Amino acid sequence: MSGDLDIIKSGLIDRIEGVCERLLPDGKPEGGLWVAWNPVELDQKPGRLPALKVRIRGGDLGAWRCYRSGAKGDVLRLVEYV
């Protein structure tokens, strides 16, 4: 990755919690993760826990994974995915 994409990714990472609030408004911070329902998979069902998790503190900021569907990526891929 280079140039403009690096700048965009850096800007998103600098504001990662706000990005999560905007893209995944039903989520909440838990430890160093933003935990939310997957809006693409529409996985919010009784008896289930949210399975989409985004790193907001420590480690690889903006890295995410849906533990139900297996989808994952960096912050740019999260914006594209949602």
5-30 pLDDT, tens digit per residue, is 999 999 999 999 999 999 999 999 99
Whole-model pTM?
Answer: 0.92
- How many CB atoms are located within 10 Å of the residue 56 CB? 23
- Given pLDDT bands bounded at 50, 70 and 90, which one contains residue 1? low
The residue behind tokens 């850096």 is 10
- Give the separation between CA 36 and CA 50, rounded to whole angstroms: 5
| 58 within 8 A of 64, measured Cβ to Cβ | no
Extents of the domains making up the chain: 4-81
58-68 residue pLDDT tens: 999 999 999 99
